[in-house]
Amino acid sequence: MGNLAVVRGASALGKIVVWKGKTLAMPGFHNAMNRMTLRQRSVRHGFVRFFKGIGMIRSVLLGLLCAMVPMQVAAQPIVASILSTGDGDTLRINQNGQTVIIRLACIDSPEPDQPGGTAAAQRLAQLLPRGQSIQLIPVDTDTHGRTVGVVFANGRSVNMQMVQEGHAAAYRYHLSSCPNSRNDLLAAESSARAARRGFWAQANPIMPWDWRRR
Each residue of 144-188: pLDDT tens digit? Answer: 999 999 999 999 999 999 999 999 999 999 999 999 999 999 999
Q: Which residues are catalytic?
A: 103, 111, 146
Residues of the chain with CATH 2.40.50.90: 78-211
- AA letter at 81: S
> What whole-number distance in Å separates Cα of residue 16 and Cα of residue 72?
74
DSSP string, 157-182: EHHHHHHHTTS-EE-GGGGGG-TTTH
Beta strands in the chain (DSSP E): 4-7, 16-19, 22-25, 78-85, 90-95, 98-104, 107-108, 133-141, 147-153, 156-157, 169-170
Residues 6+ apart with CB under 8 A from 74: 137, 180
Q: pLDDT at position 20, please?
A: 52
The domain 78-211: what is its CATH number?
A: 2.40.50.90
In the prediction, which pLDDT does 14 show?
A: 47
Task: Give me the amino acid identity at 179.
Answer: P
Q: Which segments in the chain show pLDDT lower than 70? A: 1-75
pLDDT for res 13? 44
